[in-house]
Structure 1
């Protein structure tokens, strides 16, 4: 790529709102009027008139857009995030009364903090599990070109890259050309249980949570992993969820991270039980539990044992074992990286992968 592809450095600007054609034409006309006024000192009144018209049209457009999304909570959050999102650089950090300004030392400090979340290796054996009843074991999956192509076409427009340097944007743009090759690569990887080490490296970006911004403990890790591996993960996860549903392995009391289930259905279920208890004059005891670093602290050995117990066997279990072990990570701030560190627990960050395995 370095030899045959011309490279240049680009400065990314925040996305501006894409206005309708009639507003864009007026903005273009306004720029033309300003240029004429600058050269001849005439046309100021017309320029002011057009400016006011544009301002009125933009305000009307924004109001209509807000009205169109008020019925959809997800669209509201997305809209608010887009108009308020600002890049906030990592400030100077304080550690043992020492102030840290350079990115390399910041990266290594974050690495030491995050590494503690991934080092929960249990010293005891997994608890004995009641064998699950399933109709058949899941030891292999078939790769369908149409499924792979659909996943690639629906990838987000994101240019973030991990160690392999391949972004979602690149995969999405080349989806029709690379689908057959990816299918062959996925088949070979699953049959052999081999995953290149570069695909098991995560880049971690620290994101501020709350509290003191100068304290590294108040940041959470956001991992960027191999995009190609994420496509394969999605295919495997879909097959795994179908296996769980067909064999009724998922508890009826599980409402999170499942299709057709949500916090709303969970609340309806809970309130119906509470209402029944109130009518029968029974006491109601409620316990809310929050697990710290829940997804990051899942013991890999326990997870593999649980997967075996629910019928995941053969080459599929071997691939998942290879995927979850011998992983490493680096913290990235700007273009600076920390020293690499081992990840001994948890699963790679993915909106579907890590909650499902948890």
Structure 2
């Protein structure tokens, strides 16, 4: 267990210049590298309620020191700290303030935090600290050593089995066929692939023989000194202990540098696995609170989570199916699977993925694709023609993934299905066949951007922000409703889903196959090798499968029908927004909410009104309108995180930039703690792959134009550059030179390249944003290039700095050779060269 440093601090209210904050900063600086290697907890009364700890924003003119607040935020970001208190700790009259704070240097250090009534005017903060080391002996697993497999005998055995299989399978069911195939594959592997058992090792990989000898000697000297109580013996023990710590640090550094330098290129999965473990935030599933009882046994936890996942299933019963009228869509053609298609699927298998419950590893299917293709093709075609899925393909092991909230609550986990690899291959084939049908008949709603080719959260956000900013530029306010489904993927009722699929023309054997795929499923939760009892799945589309997301999209495909407001869907995220000019517009949005209530009742889905919100956006201080949904008045908010981006009611990006900077700062802190002594190129790779994506997520939709926002983001990269090069000089031009040495562009330049690249993608149909809907080509001849667009006019910066108006201006000024680039890569390279010049 790592040492713990606990600090208690009090800031007097009259410290308006933040002098005491500076003293705290000095004390933390004196800790040196300990703030990276130790567990640090800082608590105290800071008397600064004017800080919004969600976005690190300081409220001006609040009666509290802005100077001290900004110094505290700088301290927190500089040292990579996380603040955990998010509810008032002092109530006086109508004022509810967060005065008492708890900081840690690691997000996972606080397991639970409660604010309870205190004996004085401040509430008491009770924290449950996650510092108890728990070593659990995981059950040993058999691992096939594939690089020692007898390939010739495996190939011969598979070829012999192919002849035997086709002589036996005429009257066999699909289930019998797969039992025969899977049994044979497992037997072949047992005969010709060596096996070893995994071991539970607790010693560190850099703990070499010399260190083990030193450790044993240290223990002997400790026992000797304890018995003799001789000062000389104690001194000898202290010397060897000090020497061992020195050698341990040196061995760890040498191992990490050597391992990461080779793994980054040869074994990238091992590299990121190492980084992930160092974070110490991926804690798995800890103790669970079941009706007030704390359970820690893996078997009991698996049963509890299994019961939780079962409890959310939709009961459909024999209720009458809704009327969908006559289908205007054509019928999906029958699926004929080719040998080449099967071989291609086997050859494309990602061999680093885990095997499914059937025990057949992906590498085996991939390595022997040529020999397996005939029999796999036969069972695939038989399965589709008969509309039956082998029973083993519908048995899933569930991994419970924590979402957010209290880790002890089972409702805060979602189930991810681990199914046989072979069944996913057939799912890919069927998925492709269905998508061809959907695209041919233009069935999928254009409002949906989730799980669709050439679409992403960024394409959704670009169009949404454009619409809203344009309304604001036209002096209209916008009312937005952010709606949240309850356990959407797990609640889809199967009969109604099949009913809708038939309406969309998915009938015949494909419909029967999907019905078998859904209706005959079982699942069991597995935690560290301990499994729950198998549970029959009565509703939902399985997350973790290939077909699950597409089936969900088809089920909610008709949700936007008959709505008059603008609607945006990204998987189960639903957004409505309506420009408001009169009370009639308010009524239109309210009526749409009523229609969605009717839709959920008809199709047995469920919105969660307590997690649904409204927001009124306006260029000036907006006045929220009142809306009701599912029998409750919706809460109006000033900002909300939609698809990972903070949208505020004035559409400025202060909250987003602060939120992004805070998350990036925390991740940079992880790198600082764990890779401090690594070479520059390792640090640089860690920054560009772990931190910079946070700063650039969907940035084309919110690229800030305000200098303060730009500086907020650039500050993180400047800190990263100093860390990577270990150069903390404050001489003018130092950071600019560091960027050149590291070959980094500024974040502002990178966002500009990203925005221009999206326009290029739109021009060349590489992204699904309808070009003609937003911009028009300029027919006049230009000296720059022939792909000019008409500039979009605007009256305010909110719209003028949004994606299309800002990017068109930059696009039109590009040189002709850049715009005429033959590929996206060459276009981006030309942009970099153009900007550098």
> Are 2:313 and 1:121 aligned?
no
Specify which of 271, 275, 286 is matched with residue 83 of structure 1. Answer: 275
Task: Tell me which residue corresponds to 2:421.
Answer: 227
268-277 vs 323-332, which moves further: 268-277
Specify which of 287, 300, 307 is matched with residue 105 of structure 1. Answer: 300
Task: Tell me which residue corresponds to 1:19.
Answer: none
Corresponding residue SS for 2:294: strand
Aligned residues: 316
Q: Write the mapping of 1:1-358 to structure 2, written as runs, cut at 5 A.
A: 1=186, 4-5=190-191, 7-11=195-199, 58=257, 83-85=275-277, 88-121=283-316, 124-134=319-329, 136-156=330-350, 157-162=352-357, 164-350=358-544, 352-358=546-552
Q: CA deviation at 1:58?
A: 4.4
Measure the CA separation in 2 of the matches of 1:292 and 1:271.
26
Corresponding residue SS for 1:286: strand
Q: CA deviation at 1:351?
A: 5.8
Given the superposition, is the C-alpha separation of residues 179 and 273 from structure 1 closer, same or farther in structure 2, using an over 3 Å criterion? same
Measure the CA separation in 2 of the matches of 1:101 and 1:324.
32
Measure the CA separation in 2 of the matches of 1:323 and 1:170.
25
Corresponding residue SS for 1:285: strand
Corresponding residue SS for 2:289: strand
Corresponding residue SS for 2:407: coil
Please list the CA deviations of residues 191-245 of structure 1 after superposition, one character each: whole Å capped at 9, or x if unmatched.
1122222221111122333333333333222211122111111110111011100
Please list the CA deviations of residues 4-26 of structure 1 after superposition, one character each: whole Å capped at 9, or x if unmatched.
53543124889xxxxxxxxxxxx
Is the CA contact (8 Å cut-off) linking 2:388 and 2:512 kept in structure 1? Answer: no
121-130 vs 153-162, which moves further: 121-130
Please list the CA deviations of residues 178-198 of structure 1 after superposition, one character each: whole Å capped at 9, or x if unmatched.
122111101111111222222
Unaligned runs of 5+ in 1: 15-30, 35-47, 67-74
Given the superposition, is the C-alpha separation of residues 264 and 174 from structure 1 closer, same or farther in structure 2, using an over 3 Å criterion? same
Measure the CA separation in 1 of the matches of 2:285 and 2:466.
47
Measure the CA separation in 1 of the matches of 2:317 and 2:432.
29
347-356 vs 293-302, which moves further: 347-356
Corresponding residue SS for 2:483: coil
Please list the CA deviations of residues 72-112 of structure 1 after superposition, one character each: whole Å capped at 9, or x if unmatched.
xxx9xx98676224663533333233332333222211111
Measure the CA separation in 2 of the matches of 1:211 and 1:79.
29
Please list the CA deviations of residues 26-59 of structure 1 after superposition, one character each: whole Å capped at 9, or x if unmatched.
xxxxx9xx9xxxxxxxxxxxxx9xx99x96x949
Max Rg structure: 2
Measure the CA separation in 2 of the matches of 1:193 and 1:124.
25
Given the superposition, is the C-alpha separation of residues 152 and 206 from structure 1 closer, same or farther in structure 2, using an over 3 Å criterion? same
Measure the CA separation in 2 of the matches of 1:231 and 1:280.
51
Q: CA deviation at 1:249?
A: 0.9
Unaligned runs of 5+ in 2: 1-185, 203-207, 212-246, 553-837
Measure the CA separation in 2 of the matches of 1:195 and 1:13.
40
Is the CA contact (8 Å cut-off) linking 1:257 and 1:352 kept in structure 2? Answer: no
TM-score by length of 2: 0.34
304-313 vs 91-100, which moves further: 91-100
Corresponding residue SS for 2:526: strand
Is the CA contact (8 Å cut-off) linking 1:225 and 1:348 kept in structure 2? Answer: no
Measure the CA separation in 1 of the matches of 2:201 and 2:494.
41
Measure the CA separation in 2 of the matches of 1:114 and 1:250.
29
Is the CA contact (8 Å cut-off) linking 1:223 and 1:348 kept in structure 2? Answer: yes
Measure the CA separation in 2 of the matches of 1:167 and 1:125.
44
Please list the CA deviations of residues 277-310 of structure 1 after superposition, one character each: whole Å capped at 9, or x if unmatched.
2343333222222212111111111110111001
Q: Which has the higher strand share?
A: 2
Is the CA contact (8 Å cut-off) linking 1:133 and 1:247 kept in structure 2? Answer: no
CA RMSD in angstroms, aligned pairs only? 3.7
Corresponding residue SS for 2:482: coil
Measure the CA separation in 2 of the matches of 1:214 and 1:344.
26
